[in-house]
Amino acid sequence: MSSELIINVTEGEVRVALLENGTLAEIFYERDRGLGIVGNIYKGRVVKVLPGMDAAFVDIGLDKAAFLYVADVRSDEELAPFLGEEEAVVVDEDFTLVEDELDEALPPPHIDDLLQEGQDILVQVSREPMGTKGARVTTYNSLPGRYLVLLPTVEHIGISRKIENDEERQRLKDLVTAIKPEGMGLIVRTVSEGKEEGALHHDLKFLCKLWENINQKKEKTKSLNLVYQDLRLVQRIIRDLYSDEIDRLVVDSDDCYHELKSFIASYFPDLHCEIERYTGIQPIFQAYDIEIEVNKALDEKVWLKSGGYIVIEATEALTAIDVNTGRFVGKKNLEDTILKTNLEAAKEIAFQLRLRNMGGIIIIDFIDMESKTHRERVNVSLEEALKRDKAKSNVLKISELGLVEMTRERVRNSISRMLCDPCPFCEGRGIVKSKSTVTYEIVRELKSYGYDSDVKELVVMVNAELADYIYDNEGLSLDNLEYAMRKKITLKKIDHYQWEDYEIVAKV
């Protein structure tokens, strides 16, 4: 599979697109306003301890306090059993802990045994603030390099799950065991496969020096301040994504082009990264048809090649995905048509989840299948399609109703949250009241002035379209209301009002 990284730099914004076989697979954004904070380390202060939730809120100097769960809190007494595998690092990379477990696991501590309100604490952001929720943080700091991830506070060795060869896994384990600093841990990243000790040792020296600088800065920094900021987007992409599988890297900015050349020469001298400067007339994302794909990724409906389609609806609690046959009528029988649609949908759903970066709880409503074998085939197809996704996912077996429950790791905002705001008119509901509904609300409110003998005229300020609707459909009703109340009723058109906006002014 051919892969390309396309980098678009404009004033205030950087976009990086990963193309696989010419199709947009993932897209990353970074804006000067609202820079991402995952990976940043802060000297925070515990502002509230919640024993009932076994969690705490930590002020790190942002608008909202960060959330710290008990499993993400390290104390000097407790050891690695409290390190959740999925929370250990903030990079999107699977790994397996391969050291022997402790003979006897310690009883899990409670949050009020570990933290006190007002206490200063060093935390690292593991998940961006999303919607109404603040950032999630951990005290298990991790510093990702090109080949290794340094765990300064946890003595463990981890190997990327994507390195499947047992001999290579053992070789890398032996290698990092020999160079691992005492009291610290290391995770071997996927790109380390086949690398010799020299490359890994160079990476480790850089990460140890970085941790030393962080500790020195921590002592000099006041609370509620940033201690360490992770690399900017383009540098992170080179560090985390660039590998032998990437065939080309194309960038449309001279400054970014030279910065990348310098960054690679300084930090990753053994990385053979060919960077191409784009000089085309068309904007780079248009030339590679990326703009069209980004706009499609904001649509609820996604058409399948067969003529079927899926509908993706994200809510605060979960994401619901519905599969439909659409225009696809099949060739043999109904069961065969349903199976083909579901199999095609399974691959497209995995692709869309990765592209849109949708996480949390996801419910997929496949078309009902009577055959257990068919249900298993669809389940396997979905799990296979998710393997290319770096974000961790957990998929339950498809039910007899055709429902699949799954979760996908959520570290950064989805593409819709990144690019869109809730509609200011419907306030995110996706619907507005009909003209007739608002009209009846106005009539009911007008009637409430009937008892007030001092009021001579009622002026109703409404949306222009709604005023025309009332004149055309409820004009007689207003005349009758005027006669019954013995008050003049006047409609006044306000251009900037929406359908649901209206105001009644009583004149004496």
175-182 contacts at long range (C-beta below 8 A, 24 or more positions apart): 175/200, 176/148, 176/200, 179/204, 181/208, 182/155
- pLDDT grade for 378, boundaries at 50, 70 and 90: very high
What is the predicted pLDDT for the residue at 163? Answer: 86
What is the predicted pLDDT for the residue at 67? Answer: 93
Q: Return d(Cα 221, Cα 210) in angstroms, integer.
A: 16
What is the predicted pLDDT for the residue at 66? Answer: 92
- pLDDT grade for 329, boundaries at 50, 70 and 90: low
Backbone angles phi, psi at 399, to 5 degrees: -85, 175
Dihedral sign, CA of 421, 425, 428, 431?
Answer: negative
Lowest mean pLDDT among 79-83, 144-148, 403-407: 79-83
What is the predicted pLDDT for the residue at 331? Answer: 65
Q: Does residue 196 surpass a pLDDT of 90?
A: no
Residues 6+ apart with CB under 8 A from 215: none
Which residues make beta-bridge pairs with 306? none
Residues 6+ apart with CB under 8 A from 186: 148, 149, 150, 151, 156, 157, 158, 176, 180, 204
Is residue 350 within 8 A of residue 383, CB to CB? The reply is no
3-state secondary structure 65-130: CEEEEHHHCCCCCCCHHHCCHHHCCCCCCCCEECCCCCCCCCCCCCHHHHCCCCCEEEEEEEECCE
Reference 4, options 259, 292, 243, 258; nearest CA is 243
Per the listing, tokens 């929406």 go with 498
Q: Return d(Cα 117, Cα 242) in angstroms, integer.
A: 43
What is the predicted pLDDT for the residue at 343? Answer: 94
What is the predicted pLDDT for the residue at 5? Answer: 92
Q: Does residue 98 surpass a pLDDT of 50?
A: no
CA-based Rg of the chain, rounded to a whole angstrom?
29
Q: Return d(Cα 142, Cα 184) in angstroms, integer.
A: 10
- pLDDT grade for 245, boundaries at 50, 70 and 90: confident
Q: Does residue 388 surpass a pLDDT of 90?
A: no
Q: Return d(Cα 200, Cα 179) in angstroms, integer.
A: 9
> pLDDT tens digit string along 270-318?
777 788 999 999 999 999 999 999 999 999 999 998 888 999 998 888 9
Is residue 86 within 8 A of residue 391, CB to CB? The reply is no
- The percent of residues above 70 in pLDDT, for the chain, comes to 91
- Give the up-direction half-sphere exposure of residue 364: CA atoms within 13 A in the CB hemisphere: 29
When comparing pLDDT for 252 and 399, which is higher?
Answer: 252
- The percent of residues above 90 in pLDDT, for the chain, comes to 35
What is the predicted pLDDT for the residue at 7? Answer: 94
- pLDDT grade for 82, boundaries at 50, 70 and 90: very low
What is the predicted pLDDT for the residue at 133? Answer: 82
Q: Does residue 269 surpass a pLDDT of 80?
A: no
Is residue 346 within 8 A of residue 380, CB to CB? The reply is no
Residue 405: strand, helix, or coil: strand
Q: Does residue 89 surpass a pLDDT of 80?
A: no
Mean pLDDT, the chain, rounded, equals: 85
Pairing of strands 55-59, 148-151: unpaired
Which residues make beta-bridge pairs with 195? none
What is the predicted pLDDT for the residue at 349? Answer: 95
CB count in 10 Å sphere of residue 222: 9
Give the distance between the most distant pair of CA atoms in the chain.
95
Average pLDDT, integer, range 125-135: 84
Q: Does residue 77 surpass a pLDDT of 80?
A: no
Residues 6+ apart with CB under 8 A from 230: 38, 39, 40, 236
Q: In the 8-state DSSP scheme, what is residue 191? A: G
Residues, the chain: 508
Q: In the 8-state DSSP scheme, what is residue 8? A: E
Average pLDDT, integer, range 213-235: 88
Is residue 28 within 8 A of residue 233, CB to CB? The reply is yes
Q: Does residue 76 surpass a pLDDT of 50?
A: no
Q: Return d(Cα 496, Cα 52) in angstroms, integer.
A: 48
What is the predicted pLDDT for the residue at 106? Answer: 53
Pairing of strands 13-20, 3-10: antiparallel
Residue 181 corresponds to which tokens in the numbers above? Answer: 């600093």
Q: Return d(Cα 354, Cα 345) in angstroms, integer.
A: 14
Average pLDDT, integer, range 128-143: 86
Taking phi over 0 as left and psi of -120 to 50 as alpha, with beta for the rest, 289 belongs to left
Q: What is the DSSP string of 26-59?
A: EEEEEESTT---TT-EEEEEEEEEEGGGTEEEEE
Is residue 125 within 8 A of residue 90, CB to CB? The reply is yes
Q: In the chain, what are the domains?
A: 3-33+235-292 (3.30.420.40), 41-229 (2.40.50.140), 300-408 (3.40.630), 435-507 (3.40.1260.20)
Q: Does residue 57 surpass a pLDDT of 90?
A: yes
Dihedral sign, CA of 428, 430, 434, 435?
Answer: positive
Average pLDDT, integer, range 415-424: 84
